[in-house]
Amino acid sequence: MAVVRYFAAAQEATGLDTERRPETTLGALRAAVSSDHPGLGGILPRCAVLVGGSRVADDTPLGADDLVDVLPPFAGG
């Protein structure tokens, strides 16, 4: 199962730092976490979702050892 790490507002919306997910594609994972964590639904479309540190398409397969990072937009100065 892939490990999903949530940061900043995504972490607040889910109440989790990390979780293991059984979905086999990034698109399926996006849909499932939005359903399982309704507070994430409004944030997720604006987030950078990285698999192994890279942006990938929703049809990208997820493996058991994949690390998925959910990074909301950050303000900086």
Q: 33-74: per-residue pLDDT in tens?
A: 999 999 998 899 999 999 999 999 999 999 999 999 999 987
- The total domain count for the chain is 1
Asked, for residue 51, whether it belongs to a domain, the answer is yes
CATH at residue 19: 3.10.20.30
DSSP the chain: -EEEEE-HHHHHHHT-SEEEE--SBHHHHHHHHHHH-GGGTTTGGGSEEEETTEE--TT-B--TT-EEEEE------
What pTM value is reported for the model?
0.92
In a domain, residue 76? The reply is no
Whether 20 is covered by a domain: the verdict is yes
Domain assignment present for 77:
no
Check whether 75 has a pLDDT greater than 80.
no
